[in-house]
């Protein structure tokens, strides 16, 4: 279709760009008839005509009409195409007869029948409509009907129907006039009088309003039927009236089923291009198509008679010398137009007309018959649309249904008694067709066919062939919807979706590995655990060194020591961390607030980690895992010791055969070469259970066999996606009803219930129960991230407190010793960032005379907050254990002098 539109686009550009050099056609239209003007211009260019279009007002006064006709005559037109109708058409015809100009009428309603007038009426003759309407009323057996007509228009199209109301016909005909812009009052009156059958004769522009008003007053129900005279009925959107049950019948001149009618598509394309609309061919008004046909009639006539254009002056009462010859050729010539064959009688009327008879149904607009050669030929019995429902389409019909004895879709019943007919079978599809018959009211007979159908060397077989030859109505089983099968048969909406999987025996259990306890955490967690301990050790050292409370007097008996010790060496910090992780603790106990804060959050972190580890460790140490020999199709393909196969006939092996994937294609060749294919699923399942054999089958069947063979499992993902549907012949009348019924069963959950019954309950179902996945997942970083966040936040808080503590100590010393804050801070950071030594000299104020007494020294020092100092005489750092040494209570003056000499520096 895209190619057709592309070709049309190219041709249209050429047509619209070229200048016509042929004779001129005149056109007279009302001012608001823009579409008709465009239709004339497009058609004229297609047939190499020039155009001259004149407009008249809606009233169409005789002087105005006469002036427009004379203007066209003076321009030398070879004919006039008239789209006005009514009295304006009568005035145009009078002048054209005088001037002997061909006059072609494309208006819907006109009453011109004078044999002396040179006119062609492109619309079917009123006599044709009368015959067709009369036949329809008789076939519908309308004993009583009402004619609705628009005020101001004649009743020529329905005159024969009026005659059916006399005593010679067993019919009662009434008539109602539709006046004004509101038809509801007339329709309500007809409804109150009990009228249900209507023949509506009104112009196309009033059709939509008429239908809308009828719907608003409740006259579009099951009991109402309509016949519309206008051939434009089905150019409207009738979808809103499909489902009310009303029966609407109408006519259509154009043959839309002929998709090869390039002229129609070309004209539609050009018309849309000129108007900017997006219309389909079926949406074009009949008058537009008739303008095209009128131009084609002119074109066909001038090929047979040589004419020369002539300027005619109305006031001179001249006549065109070629006019009578041209009009005679137009009347006698046979032309194939867009509205089918154009044949005219002696007075220019189309009496030999072919058109389709259509009805509005719930499935859309449907052709029910054809009017041809004064005979109404119906393609189906005329039944009201209200009766064409699911009830009547399948009610009391007996369908032949093909089934397959493939578990769990169909079984032969196990019974001691001899069973006959449908009682011999049971299964999922057997119950499904029973549910459908309950909804749609049909009966059925089963026939077994285990060959689902395929096309070999251009010849169909199996179920598909029987459906195509009408030997069966439906096929219901695990029938896969494939492109090949859809080329020969139709499918219902899918009732089950599935794909190809791999069935393989469950491998034996393997004991846990020697170092399986390490698998509790992923490698990522172990790496982060080691790194976080090292980082935390460095943090503890730094925080301990800048926290002044952590600098303790190593000898409590000395109230004013010369040196202080710090317990947070690298070894002590790491030992504290490791002891916490092992839940054993250590002799290291933080004193300052910041180290205690960091230690507390570390203990919380270790509690979470240890609890997580212990909680998961049992599973890793006790569970035996299944070690699969392969996990994907590619791994199976590369495996040397495992064979694989599928069912010989069916969509599964067809998937491998037709696949463009190199691996799948090679696997198919290998399966065929090694004779690994099996005749049915049961054999394949048996081989998979007893040998190293992987069996490809559809996932629904795998689910079925897994419920009955506990040592089988499905490996890997599905290879494709497909569906099961109910097969039927092409364009089956039952398709839409079965589709609707299947959707209802899906929505109600009935199909899922049936599946549970036949998969997990009956015929050994539920034997294995649900298998638990015993393999535990590793605890990844995302599982333990919260513990790391808590640890990090606690360390940052502790570090912040430690810095505040340090700054406070620096501030106090700067005040105490009369130095600047910056100087004391730099000195403190220099000592702390050395990360060497755990002895910190006590800083003392300078004095000229130093008392030799211990008490004077303590008083001058102001009883510094540092409470533990290593002995001045000890030349090394204390151990991490607090060992008390005996010291002399008396100190030599030399020792004190050395101590005071060191008071202004840190070692």
Q: Find the Cα–Cα–Cα–Cα dihedral 697, 699, 703, 704, rounded to 10°.
A: -50
Three-state secondary-structure class, residue 456 = strand
Of 700, 720, 740, the last residue of a domain is 720
- Residues 458-484 have a mean pLDDT of 89
632 to 284, 502, 628, 669: CA distances (angstroms) = 58, 9, 10, 19
Do 119 and 132 share a domain, yes or no?
Answer: no
Q: Is the pTM of this model over 0.95?
A: no
Same domain for 374 and 256: yes
C-beta separation of 745 from 429 below 8 A:
no
Say if CB 478 and CB 670 are below 8 A apart.
no
What is d(CA 237, CA 208) in angstroms, rounded to the nearest whole number? 9
Same domain, residue pair 151 and 226 = yes
778/759 Cα distance (integer angstroms)? 34
Residues 843 and 882 in one domain: yes
Structure tokens at 399: 């369908």
CATH code of residue 703: 3.40.190.10
- Please state the domain count of the chain: 5
Of the candidates 333, 368, 388, which is a domain's last residue? 388
Confidence label for 248 from pLDDT (cuts 50, 70 and 90):
very high
Decide if 519 is inside a domain: no
Residue 715 is assigned to a structural domain of this protein: yes
Predicted pLDDT at 167: 64
Domain containing residue 93: 1-124+285-347
User: Same structural domain for residues 225 and 203?
Assistant: yes
Does residue 590 form part of some domain?
no
Considering the domain boundaries, does residue 626 fall inside one? Answer: no
Residue 474: the pLDDT is 93
Is the domain of 661 the same as that of 562?
no
Residues 221 and 364 in one domain: yes
Residue where one domain finishes, among candidates 741, 759, 777: 759
| CATH code at position 362 | 3.40.50.2300
Asked if residue 414 lies in contact with residue 762, where contact means CB atoms within 8 angstroms, the answer is no
Whether 517 is covered by a domain: the verdict is: no
pLDDT at 625: 59
Mind listing the pLDDT tens digit for each residue in 404-425? Answer: 988 889 999 888 888 888 889 9
User: Could you tell me the pLDDT band of residue 577, with boundaries at 50, 70 and 90?
Assistant: confident
Q: Could you say which DSSP state residue 870 is in?
A: -
Q: What is the pLDDT of residues 426-454, one digit of tens each?
A: 999 999 999 998 888 888 899 999 888 88
Tokens read off for 357? 């008879």
DSSP H or E stretch at residue 81: strand 80-82
Copy the structure tokens of residue 783: 């599982």
Same domain, 179 and 217: yes
Report the DSSP pairing between strands 693-698 and 500-505: antiparallel
Token pair for 261: 């009618």
Q: Do 14 and 65 sit in the same domain of this protein?
A: yes
Q: What is the pLDDT of residue 617?
A: 66
Q: How confident is the model at residue 773 (pLDDT cuts 50, 70, 90)?
A: very low
| pLDDT beyond 70 at 295 | yes
DSSP strand pairing (551-552 vs 496-498): unpaired
Report yes or no on 78 lying in a domain: yes
Do 884 and 813 reside in the same domain of the chain? Answer: yes
**Selection from 475, 459, 450 nearest residue 679 by Cα:** 450
The residue to which tokens 């079984």 are assigned: 411
Average pLDDT over residues 92-114: 83
Band (pLDDT 50/70/90 cuts) for residue 268 is: very high
Q: Distance between CA atoms of 619 and 516, rounded to whole angstroms?
A: 10
Task: Note whether residue 597 is domain-resident.
Answer: no
What are residue 381's phi and psi, to 5 degrees?
A: -60, 140
- What span, in angstroms and rounded, lies between the C-alpha atoms of 553 and 842? 10
Q: Where are the beta strands (DSSP E) in 347-460?
A: 355-361, 364-372, 375-378, 398-403, 411-412, 425-426, 443-448, 455-456, 459-460
User: Under a CB-based contact definition with an 8 Å cutoff, are residues 100 and 319 in contact?
Assistant: yes
**Residue 129 shares a structural domain with residue 254:** yes
Give the tens place of pLDDT for each residue, 23-67: 999 999 999 999 999 999 999 999 999 999 999 998 778 899 999
d(CA 197, CA 223): 8
Judged against a pLDDT cut of 50, whether residue 329 lies above it is answered with yes
Tell which wins on pLDDT, 112 or 570.
Answer: 570
In a domain, 423, yes or no: yes
Asked whether residue 246 falls in the same domain as residue 372, the answer is: yes
Q: Report the C-alpha gap between 23 and 740 in whole angstroms.
A: 59
Give the closest residue to 498 by CA, choosing from 703, 740, 654: 703
Nearest to 835 by CA among 597, 566, 625: 566
* pLDDT, mean over the chain: 80
The pLDDT value given to residue 877: 38
Instruction: Give me 674's structure tokens.
Output: 């090694």
Buried b (16+ CB within 10 A) or exposed e, 490-504: bbbbbbbebbbbbbb
Q: What is the pLDDT of residue 848?
A: 44
Distance, in Å, from the CA atom of 794 to the CA atom of 381, rounded to the nearest integer, reads 88
pLDDT surpassing 80 at residue 712? yes
CA-based nearest residue to 663, from 632, 630, 697, 698? 632
The CA dihedral of 416, 417, 420, 425, to the nearest 10 degrees, is -30
pLDDT digits (tens, 9 = 90+) for 845-878: 555 444 444 444 444 444 444 333 333 333 333 3
pLDDT band at 900, cuts 50/70/90? very low
């Amino acid at each position: 279709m895209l190619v057709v539109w592309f070709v049309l686009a190219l041709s249209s550009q050429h047509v619209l760009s070229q200048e016509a050099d042929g004779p001129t056609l005149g056109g007279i239209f009302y001012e608001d008839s823009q579409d008709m003007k465009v239709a004339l211009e497009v058609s004229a260019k297609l047939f190499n005509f020039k155009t001259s279009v004149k407009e008249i007002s809606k009233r169409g006064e005789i002087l105005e009409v006469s002036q427009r006709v004379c203007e066209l005559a003076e321009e030398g037109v070879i004919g006039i195409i008239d789209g006005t109708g009514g009295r304006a058409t009568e005035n145009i015809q009078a002048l054209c007869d005088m001037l002997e100009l061909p006059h072609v009428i494309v208006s819907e309603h006109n009453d011109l029948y004078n044999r002396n007038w040179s006119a062609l009426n492109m619309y079917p003759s009123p006599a044709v409509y009368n015959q067709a309407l009369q036949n329809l009323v008789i076939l519908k057996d309308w004993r009583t009907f009402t004619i609705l007509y628009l005020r101001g228009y004649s009743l020529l199209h329905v005159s024969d129907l009026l005659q059916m109301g006399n005593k010679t016909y067993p019919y009662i005909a009434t008539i109602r006039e539709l006046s004004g812009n509101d038809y509801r009052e007339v329709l309500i009156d007809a409804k109150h009088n009990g009228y249900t059958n209507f023949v509506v004769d009104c112009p196309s522009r009033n059709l939509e309003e008429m239908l809308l008003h009828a719907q608003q007053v409740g006259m579009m129900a099951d009991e109402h039927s309509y016949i519309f005279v206008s051939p434009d009925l089905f150019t409207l959107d009738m979808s809103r009236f499909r489902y009310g049950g009303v029966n609407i019948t109408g006519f259509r001149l154009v043959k839309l089923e002929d998709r090869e009618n390039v002229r129609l598509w070309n004209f539609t394309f050009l018309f849309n291009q000129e108007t900017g609309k997006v219309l389909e061919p079926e949406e074009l008004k009949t008058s537009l198509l008739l303008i095209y046909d009128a131009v084609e009639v002119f074109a066909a006539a001038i090929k047979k008679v040589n004419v020369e254009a002539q300027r005619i002056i109305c006031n001179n009462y001249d006549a065109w010398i070629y006019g009578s010859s041209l009009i005679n050729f137009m009347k006698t010539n046979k032309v194939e137009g867009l509205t089918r064959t154009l044949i005219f009688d002696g007075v220019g009327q189309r009496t030999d007309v072919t058109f389709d008879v259509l009805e509005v149904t719930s499935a859309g607009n449907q052709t029910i018959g054809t009017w041809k050669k004064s005979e109404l030929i119906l393609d189906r019995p005329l039944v009201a649309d209200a009766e064409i429902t699911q009830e009547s389409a399948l009610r009391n019909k007996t369908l032949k249904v093909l089934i397959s004895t493939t578990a769990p879709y169909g079984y032969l019943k196990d019974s001691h008694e001899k069973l006959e007919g449908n009682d011999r079978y049971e299964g999922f599809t057997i119950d499904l067709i029973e549910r459908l018959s309950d909804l749609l009211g049909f009966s059925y007979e089963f026939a077994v066919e285990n060959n689902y159908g395929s096309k070999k060397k251009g010849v169909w077989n199996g179920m598909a062939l029987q459906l195509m030859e009408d030997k069966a109505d439906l096929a219901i089983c695990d029938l896969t919807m494939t492109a090949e099968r859809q080329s020969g048969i139709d499918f219902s909406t899918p009732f089950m979706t599935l794909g190809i999987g791999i069935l393989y025996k469950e491998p034996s259990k393997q004991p846990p590995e020697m170092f399986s306890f390490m698998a509790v955490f992923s490698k990522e967690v172990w790496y982060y655990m080691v790194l976080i301990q090292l980082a935390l050790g460095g943090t503890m050292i730094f925080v301990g060194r800048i926290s002044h409370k952590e600098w303790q007097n190593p000898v409590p008996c000395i109230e004013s020591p010369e040196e202080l010790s710090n317990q947070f060496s690298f070894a002590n910090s790491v030992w504290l961390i490791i002891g916490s992780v092992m839940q054993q603790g250590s002799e290291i106990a933080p004193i300052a607030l910041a180290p205690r804060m960091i230690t507390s959050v570390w203990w919380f972190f270790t509690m979470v980690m240890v609890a997580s580890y212990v909680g998961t460790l049992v599973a890793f140490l006790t569970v035996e895992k299944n070690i699969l020999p392969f996990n994907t199709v590619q791994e199976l393909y590369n495996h040397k010791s495992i064979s694989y196969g599928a069912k010989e006939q069916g969509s599964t092996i067809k998937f491998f055969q037709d696949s463009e994937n190199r691996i799948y294609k090679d696997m198919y060749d290998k399966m065929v070469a090694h004779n690994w294919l099996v005749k049915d699923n049961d054999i394949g399942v048996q081989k998979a259970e007893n040998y190293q054999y992987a069996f490809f089958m559809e996932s629904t069947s795998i689910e079925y066999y897994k419920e009955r063979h506990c040592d089988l499992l499905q490996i890997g993902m599905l290879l494709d996606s497909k569906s099961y549907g109910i097969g039927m012949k092409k364009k089956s009348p039952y398709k839409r009803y079965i589709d609707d019924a299947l959707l209802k069963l899906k929505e109600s959950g009935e199909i899922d219930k049936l599946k549970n019954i036949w998969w997990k309950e009956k015929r050994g179902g539920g034997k294995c129960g649900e298998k638990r996945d015993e393999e535990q997942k590793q605890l990844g970083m995302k599982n333990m991230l919260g513990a790391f966040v808590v640890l990090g936040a606690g360390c940052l808080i502790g570090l912040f407190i430690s810095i505040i503590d340090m700054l406070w100590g620096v501030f106090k010393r700067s005040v105490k010793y009369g130095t600047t804050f910056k100087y004391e801070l730099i000195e403190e950071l220099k000592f702390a960032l050395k990360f060497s030594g755990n002895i910190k000299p006590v800083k003392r104020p300078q004095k000229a005379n130093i008392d030799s007494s211990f008490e004077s020294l303590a008083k001058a020092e102001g009883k510094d907050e540092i409470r533990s100092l290593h002995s001045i005489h000890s030349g090394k750092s204390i151990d991490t254990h607090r060992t008390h040494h005996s010291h002399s209570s008396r100190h030599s003056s030399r020792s004190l002098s050395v101590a005071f000499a060191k008071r202004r520096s840190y070692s």
